[in-house]
Amino acid sequence: MSIILIGFTLLMSLAVGWSIGANDAANSLGTAVGSKVINLKQGIVLISIFGLLGALLQGQHVAHTIGKGIVPMDQLNGSLGLYVALVASFAACAWVVLATYFKMPISTSHSIVGAVAGAGLAIGAPVKWKILGDIFVCWITTPIGAAIFGYVFYLLLRNFFHRIIPRKFNRVVTSVLIITSGCYVAYSWGANDVANATGVIVGAGILSPTVSVALGGIAIVIGIVTWGYKVIETIGSEITHLLPLMAFAAQLASAINVHVYTLFGIPVSTSHSIVGAIFGIGLVRGVRVLNIRIMREIIFCWLATPFVSGVISFLILKGMITFIKP
């Protein structure tokens, strides 16, 4: 294996980790920032800590699916696995960075899965369509499940707080719950999404799952700190105006939703989950409180993500194929 090729592939996967931190940081505590419970800097610190913990403690579940479950990179001839990993990482990173620039919360899971599949098709590798189909179904159920959870949780919590918690303690109790649930979201996000950065280097046999997850977690933290504020603004305040109790219900619904998929090793979108939860909560108050324009733009980006990253990956690797000597 070429040392230079390995180096570029590793560097590109870390760039994916950085882009994940930049785009997906908002999914954890964006609602807490939007509801004014904590400020932006406090949110970034908490997301960094708990996102890294999730990556280190449970990040290996999904890494196997990304690295070997879609295209068996470890079974490809010669350096083909490395080329697939390199090109897929580049395609996924490019699309996520573009979306982040425009403050759109997209799915980094969709981006890397689409890119891996596109690269596999470019070289005629055996794409595991059944697993890809299962993942696709979960992509559909993720925002729907989160919306249902969010709707139900908010209804129950609203009635509970109004009847049980004295009004003067409402703000304090809700703030504690928001911060706690936000940290849980960050943890489940780190556990699920670090594989989007590290799965390809695990699949290509560059690093062990433990080492790759640690490096990916650090890259994600750097992305959070340097560029994470952009999408936080969209999640926190532009979909709908969030009251503190709404923020707690959204975060709790999203965290539970993502964590279940993580335990089964399924790469799902924390962006879809938190946006779905916010949408469900907004429905409790009526569609009129939702920013339909923003929702429409977000959904368009969701639909485009796996196809755009897949096409980029396919075209680049197809163009390189004549120079690759397995």
More confident site: 166 or 307: 307
pLDDT in tens, 266-298: 888 887 898 899 889 888 877 666 667 777 888
The DSSP output letter for 239 is S
**Token pair 């949110």 in the structure block, residue:** 43
Alpha-carbon distance of 267 to 255, in angstroms, equals: 14
- pLDDT-wise least confident of 57-61, 80-84, 221-225, 316-320: 57-61
**Token pair 């998929």 in the structure block, residue:** 261
Cα–Cα distance list, 61 to 21, 45, 54, 95, 267 (Å): 19, 25, 11, 25, 9
Alpha-carbon distance of 117 to 129, in angstroms, equals: 9
Q: Are 8 and 86 in contact (CB under 8 A)?
A: yes
User: What residue numbers bound the domain in which 60 lies?
Assistant: 3-323
% of the chain exceeding 70 in pLDDT: 92
pLDDT in tens, 16-50: 999 988 888 767 777 777 778 888 888 888 988 99
Residue 162: its H or E element: helix 129-164
Q: What's the pLDDT band for 67 if we cut at 50, 70, 90?
A: low
Which runs of E-coded beta strand occur in the chain? none
- pLDDT-wise least confident of 89-103, 113-127, 156-170, 198-212: 156-170
Residue by residue, DSSP assigns 177-233 as HHHHHHHHHHHHHHHHHHHHHHHHHHHTTSS-HHHHHHHHHHHHHHHHHHHTHHHHH
What's the whole-model pTM score?
Answer: 0.82
Q: Are 63 and 311 in contact (CB under 8 A)?
A: no
More confident site: 143 or 199: 143
Q: What's the domain count of the chain?
A: 1
Alpha-carbon distance of 14 to 265, in angstroms, equals: 21
Phi-psi region of 205 (alpha: psi -120 to 50; beta: other; left: phi over 0): left
